[in-house]
């Protein structure tokens, strides 16, 4: 046996491994992640290195491979554990070891240490309040916001002011010249805001919150480690629960990783954690450069922080003693990596917790089917928070049947009911959000008169219309000619819903020329910080109506929004993907949760062609349970995850012919077998052309393998990899694996 070893983990190239022979007497002992002593170079000087891979394939002349000298005694170090984790990721999700290592260990880059600017209030609070009153009189939104923040926190990191708080550099300058603030240069690692400990006003936990925290604390102190799922509606006080438990764990000298979807990492959230935990908190975001990420890594390694908050990649914080991992909004698609290795943060967190003897807390208002299923089977422990923590009421939700609107001659994108309520809110100077659900929209065909959707007779997934005049199933390859009439009611109004956010904006401006409108979509947010700017402007009531795609449903709380209109709920319902209903339910529930976050109760209008669909009924009643029961039945009937596991194998090539040949030689079940009788335990679908068959001159085909056993699928992955490596037909083919894909 041979071991591939990295001798310097801070090296710029992690892929620089050296191969050594594992001496017979060490064979039982050697494991990935261990530190070993090895002779290095011509002079055979002794170095220590980490084992990253164990293999029986020598990479060069066996007579020249030197043996490992000895194992470094003692506990596996943090870096060693990360290497073990990389090996686990490679095994479970498929990638090269190098890709897996680069995912878990950031690469050192020689970057100059940055200085960090901060703004500091240099006048008294009384004086500051006078200024505030003046700015309020002048309705100067940005100045009011800036002043309010300064009164709360006297020192704020410059980047937070310009970024999350959305204050222009000019405004900061004007405050400076008025002698209100001074801009100071702090050392890079200093805390971003100064906390005055007496400032932290803590909410007293309510009965349910207390029950949850007490139960989890007790488990923890009894040495019980679990994965918990907190199913709590938006605003029910989940974050408060996380903070209480985080505090409990760090008091015992352990560290905590807290994952939050990037879009929810708003100024309000960040500040809340700083207030509670001060400079022991560190925040990551995906915009960090390689060098900055490396700095965060060393900071955690040195023990300078206790809590790392961030998106997916924060999971790999090199803490010595991880006690707890929290994943907020665990159902979010962003927790799955889109590049190889395509790991899921939820499962990876559970593995990290297992390696470190830590617990995991998952939280969501609309748990993923996976998590809820695990909670019901007892694999996770379930807690529920079903009331809002503050007195604000849940909104009333109405469903409008667009087929009826059409019958009554209303061809506009706004139903009569929605128009009435919009007029009402504009008169009352309250705010409105209009939400166009375009997620996963892939050109499905539906009847505007009866709501009938063209679906694949084999997969129950929507057919997608193609330019060649055909309707195609992207799952099994079934196709049929485009229809001219609805097969159900014979109406000729059969087509897709084609309105975009821009058309919605035009329609609103035509109908309400006085209203101030903001639009948030890919076009208006492509610039850096673009979406934060729009949200901040809306938050400050610089507009009456915010129109947007799914981007607007998360993050900020808008206390003055009392009406949310969901224009075409069906758009995501018929994406050609078995998760379409789940995603629709999540989006509708979240969008509805935007209404009535303040004192006044809110109303929500869901416009749809299929009011009878269970995901719409469940969203209307805000009934997760009912949704789950229907959805799990559907997954069971058609054998989709979480009832089974599914491996997507994607084959790509520039050479269409070569791809055809390769796919033909594969034959899973005949040529590719992962074991003796295992072929009957799997179901193979495809190969078929991918949704984007030809993209950037690359042709793509996909194969789906379903099996109950995840481990069996990882075996198939290994066998396919080995088959491709030894087969000359695969020279021009690249293969990618995706386990339980989020997007088909």
Written as one string, the DSSP assignment of 480-539 is EEPPSS-TTT--S-EE-----HHHHHHHHHHH-TTS-EEEESHHHH-STTHHHHHHHHHH
Q: Which stretch binds Zn ion (CB under 5 A): 240-248, 338-346, 471-479, 692-700?
A: 471-479
- Which of 123, 489, 626, 698 binds Zn ion (CB under 5 A)? It is 489
- Which of 47, 476, 617, 685 binds Zn ion (CB under 5 A)? It is 476
DSSP state of 740: S
Pick one of ligand ADP, Zn ion, none as the site partner of residue 203 (Cβ within 5 to 8 A by kind): ligand ADP
Q: How far is the CB of 264 from ligand ADP (least distance, A)?
A: 9
Q: Which stretch binds Zn ion (CB under 5 A): 154-162, 299-307, 474-482, 616-624?
A: 474-482
Tell which positions 498-517 bind ligand ADP, by CB under 6 A: none
Q: How far is the CB of 244 from ligand ADP (least distance, A)?
A: 10
Q: Which stretch binds Zn ion (CB under 5 A): 16-24, 73-81, 479-487, 689-697?
A: 479-487
- Which of 450, 508, 649, 744 binds Zn ion (CB under 5 A)? It is 450
How many angstroms separate the CA atoms of 455 and 473, rounded? 8
Q: How far is the CB of 236 from ligand ADP (least distance, A)?
A: 4
Written as one string, the DSSP assignment of 343-359 is -BHHHHHHHHHHHHT-E
Q: How far is the CB of 485 from Zn ion (least distance, A)?
A: 8
How many angstroms separate the CA atoms of 389 and 608, rounded? 31
For 68, 229, 296, 516, the CA distances from 14, given in Å and listed in that order, are 20, 36, 18, 53
- Which of 208, 209, 296, 562 binds ligand ADP (CB under 6 A)? It is 209
374 forms part of the interface with ligand ADP (CB under 6 A): no
Query: Per-residue x/- marks for ligand ADP, 174-203, CB under 6 A?
Result: -----------------------------x
549 forms part of the interface with ligand ADP (CB under 6 A): no
Closest CA to 309 of 359, 274, 339: 274
How many angstroms separate the CA atoms of 722 and 242, rounded? 44
How many angstroms separate the CA atoms of 397 and 399, rounded? 7
For 33, 51, 83, 303, 317, the CA distances from 321, given in Å and listed in that order, are 17, 22, 16, 10, 11
How many angstroms separate the CA atoms of 168 and 150, rounded? 15
Q: How far is the CB of 359 from ligand ADP (least distance, A)?
A: 19
Sign of the CA dihedral running 95, 96, 97, 101: negative
Q: How far is the CB of 430 from ligand ADP (least distance, A)?
A: 20
Q: How far is the CB of 401 from Zn ion (least distance, A)?
A: 14
Q: How far is the CB of 388 from ligand ADP (least distance, A)?
A: 7
Pick one of Zn ion, ligand ADP, none as the site partner of residue 456 (Cβ within 5 to 8 A by kind): Zn ion
How many angstroms separate the CA atoms of 246 and 273, rounded? 11
DSSP state of 540: T
Please list, residue by residue across 486-525, b when 16 or more beta carbons sit within 10 angstroms of its beta carbon and e when fewer do: beeeeeeebebbebebeebbebbeeebeeeebbbbbeebb
Q: In the complex with ligand ADP, which residue's Cβ is closer, 16 or 390? A: 390
Placement of tokens 């009331």 in the chain: 387
Pick one of Zn ion, ligand ADP, none as the site partner of residue 236 (Cβ within 5 to 8 A by kind): ligand ADP
**H helical segments located in 640-680:** 656-666
Q: How far is the CB of 452 from Zn ion (least distance, A)?
A: 4
475 forms part of the interface with Zn ion (CB under 5 A): yes
β-sheet bridge partners, residue 364? 231
Q: Are 221 and 245 in contact (CB under 8 A)?
A: no
Q: What tokens were used for 744?
A: 């088909």
- In this structure, how many other beta carbons lie within 10 angstroms of the beta carbon of residue 628? 20
Q: How far is the CB of 364 from ligand ADP (least distance, A)?
A: 9
| DSSP run (H or E) holding 20 | strand 18-21
Pick one of Zn ion, ligand ADP, none as the site partner of residue 475 (Cβ within 5 to 8 A by kind): Zn ion
- Which of 413, 447, 643, 703 binds Zn ion (CB under 5 A)? It is 447
Pick one of Zn ion, ligand ADP, none as the site partner of residue 287 (Cβ within 5 to 8 A by kind): none
How many angstroms separate the CA atoms of 358 and 253, rounded? 13
Q: How far is the CB of 611 from ligand ADP (least distance, A)?
A: 28
- Which of 51, 473, 553, 618 binds Zn ion (CB under 5 A)? It is 473
**Count of residues near ligand ADP by CB under 6 A:** 15
Pick one of Zn ion, ligand ADP, none as the site partner of residue 274 (Cβ within 5 to 8 A by kind): none
Q: In the complex with Zn ion, which residue's Cβ is closer, 90 or 452? A: 452
452 forms part of the interface with Zn ion (CB under 5 A): yes
**Count of residues near Zn ion by CB under 5 A:** 15
Tell which positions 221-250 bind ligand ADP, by CB under 6 A: 232, 234-240
Q: How far is the CB of 229 from ligand ADP (least distance, A)?
A: 14
488 forms part of the interface with Zn ion (CB under 5 A): yes
Q: What are phi and psi of 229, to 5 degrees?
A: -115, 120
366 forms part of the interface with ligand ADP (CB under 6 A): no
Pick left, alpha or beta for residue 378 (phi over 0 → left; psi -120 to 50 → alpha; otherwise beta).
left
Q: In the complex with ligand ADP, which residue's Cβ is closer, 49 or 235? A: 235
Tell which positions 387-406 bind ligand ADP, by CB under 6 A: 389-390
How many angstroms separate the CA atoms of 676 and 719, rounded? 13
Q: How far is the CB of 272 from ligand ADP (least distance, A)?
A: 8
Residues at the contact surface with ligand ADP, assessed by CB under 6 A: 203-206, 209, 232, 234-240, 389-390
Residues at the contact surface with Zn ion, assessed by CB under 5 A: 447, 449-450, 452, 456, 458-459, 473, 475-476, 478, 486, 488-489, 491
């Amino acid at each position: 046996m041979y071991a591939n070893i990295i001798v310097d983990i801070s090296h710029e190239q992690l892929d620089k491994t050296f191969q050594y022979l594992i001496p017979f007497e060490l064979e039982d002992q050697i494991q990935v992640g261990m530190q070993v002593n090895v002779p290095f170079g011509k002079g055979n000087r002794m170095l220590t290195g980490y084992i990253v891979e164990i293999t029986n394939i020598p990479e060069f002349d066996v007579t020249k491979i030197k043996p490992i000298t000895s194992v470094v005694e003692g506990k596996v170090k943090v870096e060693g554990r990360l290497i073990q984790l990389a090996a686990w990721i490679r095994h479970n999700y498929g990638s090269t070891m190098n890709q897996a290592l680069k995912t878990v260990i950031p690469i050192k880059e020689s970057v100059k240490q940055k200085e960090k600017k901060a703004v500091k209030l240099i006048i008294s609070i009384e004086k500051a309040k006078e200024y505030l009153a003046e700015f309020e009189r002048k309705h100067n939104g940005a100045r009011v916001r800036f002043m309010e923040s300064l009164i709360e926190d006297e020192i704020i990191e410059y980047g937070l002011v310009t970024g999350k708080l959305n204050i222009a550099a000019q405004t900061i300058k004007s405050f400076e010249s008025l002698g209100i603030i001074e801009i100071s240069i702090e050392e890079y690692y200093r805390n971003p805001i100064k906390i005055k400990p007496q400032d932290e006003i803590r909410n007293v936990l309510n009965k349910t919150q207390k029950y949850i925290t007490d139960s989890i604390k007790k488990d923890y102190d009894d040495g019980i480690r679990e994965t918990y799922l907190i199913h709590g509606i938006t605003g029910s006080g989940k974050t408060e629960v996380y903070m209480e438990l985080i505090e409990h764990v760090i008091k015992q000298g352990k560290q905590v990783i807290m994952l939050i979807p990037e879009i929810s990492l708003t100024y309000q959230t960040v500040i809340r954690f700083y207030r509670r935990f001060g400079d022991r908190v560190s925040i990551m975001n995906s915009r960090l450069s390689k060098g900055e990420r490396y700095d965060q890594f060393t900071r955690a390694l040195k023990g300078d922080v206790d809590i790392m908050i961030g998106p997916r990649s924060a999971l790999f914080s090199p803490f010595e003693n991880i006690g707890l991992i929290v994943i907020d909004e665990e159902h979010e698609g962003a927790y799955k990596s889109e590049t190889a290795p395509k790991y899921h943060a939820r499962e990876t967190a559970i593995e990290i917790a297992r390696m470190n003897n830590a617990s995991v807390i998952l939280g969501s208002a609309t748990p993923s089917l996976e998590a809820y299923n695990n909670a019901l089977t007892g694999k996770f422990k379930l807690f529920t928070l079903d009331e809002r923590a503050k007195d604000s009421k849940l909104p009333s939700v109405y469903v409008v049947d667009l087929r009826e609107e059409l019958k009554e001659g209303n061809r506009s994108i706004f139903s009569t009911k929605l128009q009435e309520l919009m007029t009402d809110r504009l008169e009352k100077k309250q705010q409105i959000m209009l939400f166009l659900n375009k997620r996963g929209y892939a050109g499905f065909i539906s009847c505007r008169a009866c709501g009938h959707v063209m679906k694949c007779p084999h997969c129950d997934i929507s057919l997608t219309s193609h330019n060649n005049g055909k309707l195609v199933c992207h799952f099994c390859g079934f196709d049929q000619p485009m229809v001219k009439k609805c097969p159900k009611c014979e109406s000729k109004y059969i087509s897709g819903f084609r309105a975009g956010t821009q058309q919605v904006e035009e329609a609103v401006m035509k109908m309400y020329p006085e209203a101030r409108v903001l639009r948030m979509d890919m076009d208006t947010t492509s610039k850096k910080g673009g979406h934060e700017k729009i949200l901040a402007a809306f938050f400050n009531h610089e507009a009456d109506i915010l129109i947007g795609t799914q981007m607007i449903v998360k993050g900020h709380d808008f206390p003055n929004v009392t009406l949310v209109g969901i224009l075409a709920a069906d758009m995501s319902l018929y994406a050609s993907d078995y998760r379409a209903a789940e995603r629709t339910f999540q989006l509708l529930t979240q969008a509805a949760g935007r209404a009535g976050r303040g004192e006044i109760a809110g109303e929500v209008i869901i416009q749809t062609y299929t009011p009878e669909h269970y995901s719409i009924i469940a969203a209307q009643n805000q009934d997760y349970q009912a949704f789950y029961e229907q959805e799990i039945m559907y997954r069971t009937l058609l054998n989709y995850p979480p009832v089974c596991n599914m491996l997507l194998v994607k084959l790509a090539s520039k050479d269409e012919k070569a791809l055809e040949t390769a796919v033909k030689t594969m034959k899973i079940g005949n040529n590719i077998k992962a074991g003796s009788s295992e072929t009957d335990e799997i179901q193979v679908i495809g190969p078929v052309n991918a949704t984007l068959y030809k993209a950037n001159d690359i042709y793509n085909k996909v194969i789906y393998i379903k099996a109950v056993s995840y481990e069996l699928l990882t075996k198939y992955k290994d066998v396919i990899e080995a088959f491709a490596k030894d087969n000359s037909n695969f020279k021009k083919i690249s293969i990618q694996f995706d386990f339980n894909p989020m997007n088909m």
